[in-house]
Amino acid sequence: MRKLDFDDDAAAIARAVAGADRMLMISSDDIGRRAGQIGAVVAGAKLAKVKYLLYTSAASPNPNPISTVVSDHFWSEHAIMAGGIPWTILRHNMYTEHVLLFLPPALQSGRLRTSLGDGARAYVTRADCARADAAALSGDWTDCRIYDIGGPEALTTDALLAIARDLTGIEAQHIRVDDAEALREFAANGLPPGFPEASVGFDICARHGYHAIVSPAVKELCGVEPETARSYLTRQVAVLRGGKATVEA
């Protein structure tokens, strides 16, 4: 086992990755600094003569003025594409597990306040993402590619609430608010600093259609269809009703 510190210089990173042919990069949790860190990893990989890079990004990354998380992925992709090593970008859509952060409280209170509007997301499980990433890492292509790693359908918040109602018999209303109110709502729920802004930024992206991409990438990479949100939530009915989550959201 080797240790790689994202804050190391390119020479130290090169020593850590020496001998690697294909390398999968996953951002650190140092929001706001991750693009620079990925740039250093790319420089180190080039020194070590790594032949191929892969990176787990976000759906439709853009230089988002609200969400540093989204901007991090945009500039990380930029650093990889300019780095001189062939690459594959794996753009993960929102994880299905995240719906367990807001659906159970919504079912308990009978309402869900968001600024998502009619924005839809092709929710995808972490397990499907992991399988797709592993398949890409073990692939043998040498050209540059972008894969949209998402679920088999794009669901609005209203559609998710309808699935939850079907599974639990509990009705909850989607109350549409503006971004400022959504930011206050996230902050009031005790999210760590930076996370309310990140959450609202993701919701803005979804509202503009950036998360509604339905792609065959998971099946192409893994040979099987990704799990639907309904299937995942069927296994989490006890959680929807207020029980303890069996998978960390």
Domains of the chain by start residue, with CATH:
10-240 (3.40.50.720)
Query: Across residues 81-91, what is the average pLDDT?
Result: 97
Query: Across residues 112-127, what is the average pLDDT?
Result: 96
pLDDT tens-place string over residues 209-221:
999 999 999 999 9
pLDDT tens-place string over residues 62-73:
887 777 888 899
Question: Do the strands 52-58 and 22-25 form a parallel or antiparallel pair, or are they unpaired?
Answer: parallel
* Per-position DSSP letters for 109-172, written without gaps between them: HTEEEES-TT-EE--B-HHHHHHHHHHHHT----S-EEEEE--SS-EEHHHHHHHHHHHH----
DSSP β-bridge partners for residue 149 = 92
Query: Across residues 74-79, what is the average pLDDT?
Result: 96
Percent of the chain beyond pLDDT 90? 77
Q: What is the pLDDT of residue 188?
A: 79
pLDDT tens-place string over residues 222-233:
999 999 999 999
- Quote the CA–CA distance of 77 and 58 in Å, as a whole number: 10
Q: How far apart are the first and last CA of the chain?
A: 28
